[in-house]
Amino acid sequence: MQYRTLGRTGIKVSPYALGAMMFGAMGNPDHEAGIAMIHRAVDAGINFVDTADMYSYGESEEIVGQALVGRRDDVVLATKLNLPMSDDPNHQGNSRRWIVREVENSLRRLQTDYIDLYQIHRPDPSTDIEETLSALSDLVHAGKIRAFGSSAMPASEIVEAQWVSERRGLERFRTEQPTYSILNRGIESEVLPVAQKYGMGTLVWSPLGGGMLTGRIRRGQQTDLSRAAHFSYFSDERRLDVVEQLVPLAEESGISMTHLAMAFAVAHPGVTSAIIGPRTMEQLDDLLAGVDVVLSDEILDRIDAIVPPGTDVSALDMAYRTPALVDPTLRRRPLASRAAAVAEPQSVPAGA
């Protein structure tokens, strides 16, 4: 296992990070199976584990905590907050009130007294970024977290946060966690270059394109992936077209689709680690078998020809969309204002 430095933190992490989203009711409810997979991954050299408070509403963190009893110092432990943990409107977001409370909940569930990387799961337009950075900085100074990062943050907001940290003398985001795969290369345009400019580590999620790059999703074939019935991207013809072009490339190269996709994700110099999210031991073993696969320039060129750099072949259903895209009122002037503009006579320049 060739370890990489997480941005400029000095922390060494494996190129694959074990994602724990599938541990608990959201995926595999068997706690012993989850613990066994964590032990298997750590024994194989993976020293980076990523979870979140809202994965099975804390159950994933509890499983990770149980697995790391006696092995805590062997692992760089990352978790996240932001998404709702109850119906209470204050049990979510990036406010100081919620951050200082929820970090204690995560520490308890994880059975640890510190978190290596604490991440905001999504941006929070309702909270001043200085409020968030100030609260996270205080947690660093208190020794409860070692570093903090963002997730799904647009490049412009990454830059803003870096400037606020510098101007206010606050700790800064050390990492970013965006989605990245052969099917979703949008971050190559700005997010990855910006993260590299500011010395941020990048751990990418869904390197298998939400399951479409496993080779088990083919046009006109039944799939046994349970999530296929719940997400629209599985029936997206554009994504299916790409998969059908990648399958013969993988076969010709003698590489499985899964290993091709993972090797692509960690080939970019701006990517520190790619998060794997196995639900079963069989899936984990298959992923671990490809950890040393390296793609040649020829294969990467052929992937570029199929999906050009910086291109998203539609978005994952769970991808973050900024308020400007979600809220129509942010894209449209008020109707009365539009009507008045149309009715107002146009002035004619003097001498025309």
Instruction: Copy the structure tokens of residue 298.
Output: 């020829």
Q: Where are the alpha helices (DSSP H) in the chain?
A: 31-43, 59-67, 96-110, 129-141, 155-168, 191-197, 237-253, 257-265, 281-288, 297-306, 323-326, 335-343
Torsion of CA 105, 13, 50, 71, to 10 degrees: -60
Please list, residue by residue across 279-294, b when 16 or more beta carbons sit within 10 angstroms of its beta carbon and e when fewer do. beeebbebbbebbebe
Catalytic residues: 55
Helix crossing, 59-67 with 31-43: angle to 10°?
50
The contacts of residue 49 (CB under 8 Å, 6+ apart) are: 17, 18, 20, 38, 41, 42, 64, 68, 75, 76, 77, 78
Helices 281-288/31-43 angle, 10° precision: 10
CA neighbor of 278 nearest in space, from 293, 263, 258: 258
Residue 309 Cα distances to 142, 186, 202, 302, 312, angstroms: 42, 8, 18, 11, 9
Neighbours of 12 (CB within 10 A): 12
- Residues 34, 205, 68, 292: is their CA dihedral positive or negative? positive
Q: How far apart are CA 154 and CA 172, in angstroms?
A: 16
Q: Are 48 and 75 in contact (CB under 8 A)?
A: yes
**What DSSP assignment string belongs to 103-127?**
HHHHHHHHT-S-EEEEEESS--TTS
